[in-house]
């Protein structure tokens, strides 16, 4: 059922795409449903151009016949549509479970608006149950790991920090970086943690998305619900 819900949310978001839009196109299983829905509209005559957030998304979008560009060619976008791993009532997100968080955040920040698409299992009262991905430079990995652990301690957080893929075969992002997955359980102050993480020199970016999402389409047994940030 979860995959059906993802598809419903993605198809609802595709309805918001207007002719001539410059789109950021997300990464992940829910975003792939959006790419397919967008491709169907493009083949029916919709004229848009997309900026993909990963090589996987680029390949799928090309297969669907969607016209693509880069942020060098289109530095300002109208809308980004992407999935999320967790969504709290303020529409603060945890993203990057697929390892594309840096490109996802760059594209979202270059957009006038962002719509999140998800199934209802992604709604949480407090972020942290899903491991927080942290993209780091391979150089100085040991020092960066210690600095991230010290940052967690200062923020009153405890949990295991795991190099994705392991030391022998670390996962490498499209940008050539590694991912540290932080199993924190609960993140009480996402804004403070986000601020402290980016101050660490070896941290390239983190999976906390604050103030970027304008609304979310969340699908469940009752259909698709529009979720907007709690005031």
User: What domains sit in the chain, N to C, each tagged with a CATH number?
Assistant: 2-124+210-218 (3.40.50.1360), 132-204 (3.30.70.260)
Q: Give 48-80 pLDDT, tens digit per residue.
A: 999 999 999 999 999 999 999 999 999 999 999
pLDDT for the residue numbered 229: 87
pLDDT at 230 over 80: no
Q: Is the dihedral of CA 79, 83, 84, 89 positive or negative?
A: positive
Percent of the chain with pLDDT over 90: 97
pLDDT of residue 8: 97
The rounded percent of the chain whose pLDDT value lies above 70 is 99
State the virtual CA torsion across 162, 163, 168, 170 in degrees, nearest 10.
150
The confidence score (pLDDT) of residue 40 equals 97
Return d(Cα 168, Cα 97) in angstroms, integer.
20
Mean pLDDT over 27-32 rounds to: 95
pLDDT score of 110 more than 70: yes
96 annotated ligand-binding residue? yes
**18 a known binding residue?**
no
Asked whether the beta carbons of 224 and 4 are under 8 A apart, the reply is: no
What pLDDT is stored for residue 102 in this prediction?
A: 97
Q: Which band of pLDDT confidence, cut at 50, 70 and 90, is reported for residue 121?
A: very high
pTM: 0.95
Phi, psi of 59 (to 5 degrees): -65, -45
Q: Average per-residue pLDDT in the chain?
A: 96
Q: What is the pLDDT of residue 26?
A: 97
Annotated binding residue at 122?
yes
Where in the sequence numbering do the catalytic residues fall? 104
pLDDT value of residue 231: 66
Binding residue per annotation — 20?
A: no
- 95 annotated binding-site participant: yes
pLDDT tops 70 at residue 1: no
């Amino acid at each position: 059922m979860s995959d059906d819900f993802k598809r419903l949310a993605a198809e609802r978001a595709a309805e918001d795409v207007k002719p001539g839009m410059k789109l950021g196109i997300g990464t992940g299983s829910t975003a792939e449903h959006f790419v397919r829905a967008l491709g169907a509209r493009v083949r029916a005559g919709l004229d848009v151009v997309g900026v993909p957030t990963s090589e996987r998304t680029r390949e799928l979008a090309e297969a669907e016949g969607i016209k693509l560009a880069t942020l060098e060619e289109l530095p300002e976008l109208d809308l980004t549509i992407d999935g999320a791993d967790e969504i709290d009532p303020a529409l603060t997100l945890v993203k990057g479970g697929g390892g594309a968080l840096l490109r996802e955040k760059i594209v979202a920040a270059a957009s006038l608006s962002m719509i999140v698409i998800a199934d209802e299992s992604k709604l949480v009262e407090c972020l942290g149950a899903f491991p927080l991905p942290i993209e780091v430079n391979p150089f100085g990995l040991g020092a960066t790991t210690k600095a991230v652990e010290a940052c967690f301690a200062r923020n009153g957080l405890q949990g295991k920090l795991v190099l994705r893929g392991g030391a022998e075969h670390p996962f490498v992002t499209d940008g050539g970086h590694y991912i540290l997955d932080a199993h924190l359980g609960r993140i009480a102050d996402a804004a403070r943690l986000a601020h402290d993480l980016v101050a660490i020199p070896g941290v390239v970016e983190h999976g906390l998305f604050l103030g970027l999402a304008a609304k979310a389409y969340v699908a469940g047994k009752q259909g698709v619900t529009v979720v907007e940030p709690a005031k």
